[in-house]
Structure 1
Amino acid sequence: MCASIAQSNALPRPFAIIVFDLDGTLVHNDDAMIRAFVEAYQRTVGDGRPPVARLRCHLGKPMPIIVRELGLPAAFESAYVAATYELADLVYAYAGIRETLEALKRLSLRLVVATGRDNARACFILGRLGLLTFFDRVFGFDDVPSGKPAPDVVERILFEFEGDRQTTVMVGDSAADFACARAAGIFAVGAGWNPCALRTDLVKADVVLQRPIELVQKIRHRGVKAHRRGNGIPDL
């Protein structure tokens, strides 16, 4: 596991933690994901039409859960993982992500990745794109008992960083991300810069931003500490 990646001084409490989803939030993975899904289907199922439309309804969840819920063979997961490594050249960071991460680090915020990928593949793609060192920690679905939409990963992050729900934010693009944030009692930001994100998913976020750098602007304008609304969810 790639833990304690970025070196940083101890922060005064309360401090803010920004939890990022990976695919569809930090990086564009749609083309690689669909191709890998189709290739894995052809290798393990054979004839027939891959259920791509149904796949989109499960985005953000760990692949073992997707395999089970779509009724795919057990061999599908390993075939899909292999295909994602082969298609890694198709994955790229969204415009403005690097500049946003640089700005957030200058604000002395804890940056964490919480992804539906396994830890090894998450670290691989972040390292390949030169983004890994921005993050204090990377959590894959295999680092917690239950992946998103369960709140386990946020609870683990709060425990490890002695975090406060009022100063922790999740940035994501899927219904699983927002369900995870809500179950954990933290604020959810929708990645509106992802053109492939389902609008029906984004409306489940507390706020949707159209550019990554808007997150920095919001934090600078409001300050690091969030304020809780009447429903118990913090507001930036």
Structure 2
Amino acid sequence: MTTQATAPVLFDLDGTLLDTPRAIVSVIDWVLAESSRPAPPREQVRATVGRPLVAVFGELLNLPHEHAEVEAAVARFRELFRETVVPEAKSMVFPGVPELLEGLRREGRPLAIVTSKIRASAEELLEPAGLTGHFGAIVCHGMAPRGKPHPDLALLAAQRLGRAPEECLVVGDAVDDMRMARAAGMGAIGVSYGVATAGQLLGAGAQVVSETVLALGGALGTLRSLR
């Protein structure tokens, strides 16, 4: 039986470990400003953070995902993000995150990243942030048939960690993280210092919502399962 000391933890990346949502919104705005289409409300832009980029620009440009303009917007976003955000990755790590991850590893808890970023984009952010070595698996968009909020990515992460889904806890700041966790039969812990509010996270299936990294560490230290 899994105990609290060994329960695997699957972390979202943007807005959960790194304070990137504001930068992501700024880069999305930059890309949209270069297009000839009307700018959507900023609230709508922010609500897309954490989703795959094809879905983000498909919605914001009101175009099919396979449209050439969407593909061009995704490519431009990645170019600008790499140039303007990645160099600042180290400073974007939420205070307390390195200590939290180190503590969980000392307890023998397997850790994974589950993100809607593609693998190259996740790695180019994790490495300069100094976080890569904490994770036994990095599971990204495109590595499973369906992305968040479907369970596929979380189930793949559990498989790569060699653990059963029902043993795992998912930590994330977005509604889709919580929905993915519940669909996969995993515990769902929301963090309200990212994109979604506590109410939105609870409404999407979170059983606990932490307002700070310190509170998250406390929750992970006392809970063995949230199924």
The TM-score bracket by the shorter chain reads: 0.7 to 0.9
TM-score by length of 1: 0.81
Q: Which residue of 2 is the match for residue 137 of structure 1?
A: 137
Report the secondary structure of 1:117's partner residue: coil
Give the deviation of 1:13 after TM superposition: 6.5
Residue pair 1:93, 1:129 contacting (<8 A) in 2 also = yes
Q: Percent identity at matched positions?
A: 26
Report the secondary structure of 1:77's partner residue: helix
Q: Which of 26, 44, 50 is equivalent to 1:35?
A: 26
Give the deviation of 1:47 after TM superposition: 5.7
Q: Per residue, is there more helix in 1 or in 2?
A: 2
Q: CA RMSD in A?
A: 2.1
Give the deviation of 1:215 after TM superposition: 3.5
Per-residue CA deviations over 1:98-151 (Å, capped at 9, x if unaligned) read 110111011111110011111111111111111111111111112222111111
TM-score by length of 2: 0.84
Give the deviation of 1:55 after TM superposition: 2.4
Structure 1 residue 18 corresponds to structure 2 residue 9: yes
Distance 1:218-1:48 versus aligned 2 partners, 3 A rule: closer
CA distance in 2, matches of 1:141, 1:221: 31
Q: Which residue of 2 is the match for residue 208 of structure 1?
A: 209
The 5-angstrom pairing of residues 148-159 of structure 1 reads: 148-159=148-159
Report the secondary structure of 1:147's partner residue: coil
CA distance in 2, matches of 1:162, 1:52: 41
Q: Which runs of 5+ in 1 are unaligned?
A: 1-11, 227-232
Per-residue CA deviations over 1:171-215 (Å, capped at 9, x if unaligned) read 001111111011111111111233x43344222311011222334
Q: Which residue of 1 is the match for residue 127 of structure 2?
A: 127
The answer to which of 81-90 and 118-127 deviates more is: 81-90
The answer to which of 129-138 and 154-163 deviates more is: 154-163
Distance 1:13-1:47 versus aligned 2 partners, 3 A rule: closer
Aligned length: 213
Residue pair 2:151, 2:180 contacting (<8 A) in 1 also = yes
Give the aligned residue type for 2:50.
G
Report the secondary structure of 1:86's partner residue: helix
CA distance in 1, matches of 2:207, 2:222: 17
Residue pair 1:113, 1:137 contacting (<8 A) in 2 also = yes
Distance 1:84-1:200 versus aligned 2 partners, 3 A rule: farther
Residue pair 2:198, 2:209 contacting (<8 A) in 1 also = no
Residue pair 1:33, 1:84 contacting (<8 A) in 2 also = yes
Q: Which residue of 2 is the match for residue 52 of structure 1?
A: 42
Residue pair 1:31, 1:90 contacting (<8 A) in 2 also = no
CA distance in 2, matches of 1:51, 1:220: 39
Structure 1 residue 104 corresponds to structure 2 residue 104: yes
